[in-house]
Amino acid sequence: EPEVTQTPSHQVTQMGQEVILRCVPISNHLYFYWYRQILGQKVEFLVSFYNNEISEKSEIFDDQFSVERPDGSNFTLKIRSTKLEDSAMYFCACRSPGQPQHFGDGTRLSIL
């Protein structure tokens, strides 16, 4: 079965540094998402992306965050200046129209 691939599996970054999390969605899926999950807490919606633009974003997704689909296969989440509270698991997901989302296994982001 096709998979959503996320890299790296674990990213350690100094506070204030920029970080880019990468995702390779399932080919021919058209809708893309980023979520985060702080340890022990619920999965939180960050942003959805369709037709090369942001479709919806949450209050968490402030000016420090951006998303991009640079080459038609990768889907990236950039955090410009990381804070301690950005430490979490970040999940990428994708789906076809009318179908459920498929999730990757996440990138664990640790901010020191």
Partner 1 sequence: SQKIEQNSEALNIQEGKTATLTCNYTNYSPAYLQWYRQDPGRGPVFLLLIRENEKEKRKERLKVTFDTTLKQSLFHITASQPADSATYLCALDLRTGGFKTIFGAGTRLFVKA
Q: Which residues bind partner 1 (CB under 8 A)?
A: 4, 31, 33, 35, 41-45, 48, 50, 55-56, 58, 91, 93, 100-106
Residues 55/57/3/73 CA torsion (nearest 10 deg): 60
Residue placing its CB nearer to partner 1 in the complex, 5 or 64: 5
CB 43 within 8 A of CB 27: no
CA distance 9 to 106: 7
Q: At its nearest, how many Å lie between partner 1 and the CB of residue 55?
A: 4
Comparing CB distances to partner 1, the nearer of 23 and 79 is: 23
E strand or H helix that includes residue 108: strand 107-111
14 vs 100 by CB, closer to partner 1:
100
Least Cβ distance, residue 19 to partner 1 (angstroms): 19
